[in-house]
Amino acid sequence: MSTDLIQQIEHWGEPQVLVLGDLMLDRYVWGDAERISQEAPVILLRADRREERLGGASSVATMLRALKARVALAGVVGADADAERLRHLLNQLQVNHDAVLTDESRPTTVKERYVGRAQQKHPQQILRVDYETRQAIDAPLEQRLLAILTRQIALADIVLISDYDKGVCTSTLTQAVIRQALHGGKRILVDPIRCGSNDGNHPYMKYKGCHAMTPNRLEASLATGLPIDTLDQAWKAGETLLHMLAMEASIITLDKDGMAMVHRDGRRQHFPTRPRQVYDITGAGDMVLSVLGLALAGGSGYETAIPLANVAGGLEVEKVGIAPVSREEMIADLQASHGGAAGSVHKQVSLDVLDMQLRYERARNRKIVFTNGCFDLLHAGHVQYLNEAKAQGDVLIVGLNSDHSVRGLKGPQRPIHHEADRAEVLAGLAAVDYVVLFDDPTPLSLIERISPDVLVKGADYSKEQVVGAEWVEARGGRVHLAAMKPGLSTTSAVVKLRDQGEPPSNALKVA
């Protein structure tokens, strides 16, 4: 299953996504929570850093850009310095904000969070202060916004509505956007507001006609008046929303229990998720909406889009605040959650993906082993060596000299086989978890970046000759010298083939 999901990610392309909703600026003040104030029984935060991020619907835009989507954003800001900052951040992300309009009667919505660290533990949010108004935008502004949205809907592959109940997603505007999207054959997904059911016109009726919506457990329970403590109850609430709003699918997020979907074709499916170390649930709903939208726009069906949204939402709650998740992080997480790389192709990773993978492995107290080499003509000695290397820990990373690096070490006649072929052969071995190419003459910079627990080299070296040995040992790691199988080496194999009159290019035909 993980291989299928990885392939979906790799074939998403760069869909055009239109996001409509309430725009916010998230401000974070970080510091050490050292003691209780002498003035009052409150925590004293010694601030040392201030950070601003895009929030609300604009956080959806941020997440989509990190996932390589093209994004147009629509909403309303005030005529203030916070709006200028928000637009500046959108420019940095190359998000189209032609449909971000100014309303001089309201402030730009700002959520200011104070985050404290105590005794070197993971930072935790202490307080949040909101600057906002929930007043609905007026009719002239609605019409101006709709005029721009009409053009942008025609260009979009999918439309997402991120409603935080701050006045932008009025019933009139939302219904007009849904009608235009349906007329243009565009899917439209909604992350709804939190509201209670009532006997009159239900607040969710403004979403009627959308293809799918993604309320969380509490939102769905409040909106339907039904308890959601079991999967059957989740499906019942989902069916209620599905029929009330004439949707294609109703998707209820169930925090640690994953997601439940009810489809109008009769399907009732549960998509479980694996346990996570939850640091901050901020942004999880935005991430789910982003990945569902991108996956559906990229050609995935609900049966694959929802598991992918589960993965991304899980990665989001492992971070503090609203922080983007990349495609590479999702692939690395899928590989790790299924016992390593999903097939030889996905064992071959970039340094950025390897960095993310190592964070995952170390969080689970797995011991990292590193070795390196050219591995030009793989033979029994290599297999024995790599098996012994793997036995020194839990995860074996092989640094593979690039073709350029091999030529510098071995001369212009080497390597015999291209780096992609050598990487594929290595990745096919059970002992090898990840293969990463390096271009330098030595692997020192790679070792410093990985900082393995165990560094392995052949016993034909002394420990003093092993590149990176001092670095590893200085950080509490160790060096292991693996036994070499007598009489076997790539160089001797090449010489033997040449003596027998075989051209080197045919060497692997018998390997």
Residues known to be catalytic: 286
Q: What is the DSSP letter of 49?
A: E
Element (H, E) at 400: strand 395-401
**Side chain identity at 441, as an amino acid letter?**
P
Q: Cβ distance 328 to 413 under 8 Å?
A: no
Alpha carbons 139 and 67: distance in angstroms, whole number:
35
List all residues 6 or more positions away from 357 whose beta carbon is below 8 Å from its beta carbon: 332, 335, 336, 349, 434
Alpha carbons 446 and 436: distance in angstroms, whole number:
9
| CB contact burial 275-293 (16+ within 10 A = b; e otherwise) | eeeebbebbbbbbbbbbbb
Measured over the CA atoms of residue 299, residue 292, residue 343 and residue 457, the dihedral's sign is positive
Element (H, E) at 261: strand 259-263
At 311, list the tokens.
């993965």
Alpha carbons 363 and 360: distance in angstroms, whole number:
5
Q: Cβ distance 160 to 62 under 8 Å?
A: no
How far are the Cα atoms of 11, 169, 195 from residue 283, in angstroms, in the given order?
25, 19, 19
